[in-house]
Structure 1
Amino acid sequence: MKSATPSNGHMPQHMALEREFTMRFTSTPRGARLARRLVSHRLNDWGHPYATSVNETLTLITSELTANAVRHGHIPGRDFHVQLTLTDDIFRIEVTDTCAEKRPPASPSAADALSESGRGMLLVAALADDWGVSPRPAAPGKTVWAQLHVRTKGHPLTHRVAPEPTDVDLLLTTASLLRDDVGSRPEDASHGGRRQ
Structure 2
Amino acid sequence: MPPSASPAAPQRLNATPRGARLARRLTALQLAAWGHPYDSGVNRTAQQLVAELAANAVTHGRVPGRGLILVSLLALTWGVAERDVGKTVGVELALKEPGL
Same fold (TM over 0.5): yes
Q: List gaps (5 residues or longer) in structure 1.
A: 74-101, 105-117, 160-196
TM-score (norm 1): 0.45
2:78 aligns with one of 131, 135, 141: 131
2:13 aligns with one of 25, 47, 51: 25
Q: List gaps (5 residues or longer) in structure 2.
A: none
DSSP 3-state at the match of 1:22: coil
DSSP 3-state at the match of 2:28: helix
Q: Higher Cα Rg: structure 1 or 2?
A: 1
How far the C-alpha of 1:140 sits from its partner, in A, is 3.4
TM-score (norm 2): 0.81
Q: Does 1:120 align with 2:67?
A: yes
Counterpart of 1:140 in structure 2 is 85
2:23 aligns with one of 11, 26, 35: 35
Runs of 4+ in 1 over 6 A off after TM superposition: none
Counterpart of 1:51 in structure 2 is 39
Q: Give the letter aligned to residue 86 of structure 2.
A: G
Distance of aligned partners of 1:149 and 1:32 in 2 relative to their CA distance in 1, 3 Å threshold: same
What's the CA shift string for 1:6-61, capped at 9, x where partnerless? Answer: 4xxxx15xx3x5x4423322321011111101110111111000111100000000
Distance of aligned partners of 1:144 and 1:20 in 2 relative to their CA distance in 1, 3 Å threshold: closer
Q: Going by fraction, where is helix more abundant, 1 or 2? A: 2
What is the rounded CA distance, in whole Å, between the counterparts of 1:20 and 1:133 in structure 2?
A: 15
How far the C-alpha of 1:71 sits from its partner, in A, is 1.7
DSSP 3-state at the match of 2:35: coil
DSSP 3-state at the match of 2:12: strand
What's the CA shift string for 1:55-74, capped at 9, x where partnerless? Answer: 0000000000111121222x
Q: Going by fraction, where is strand more abundant, 1 or 2? A: 1
RMSD over aligned Cα, in angstroms?
A: 2.1
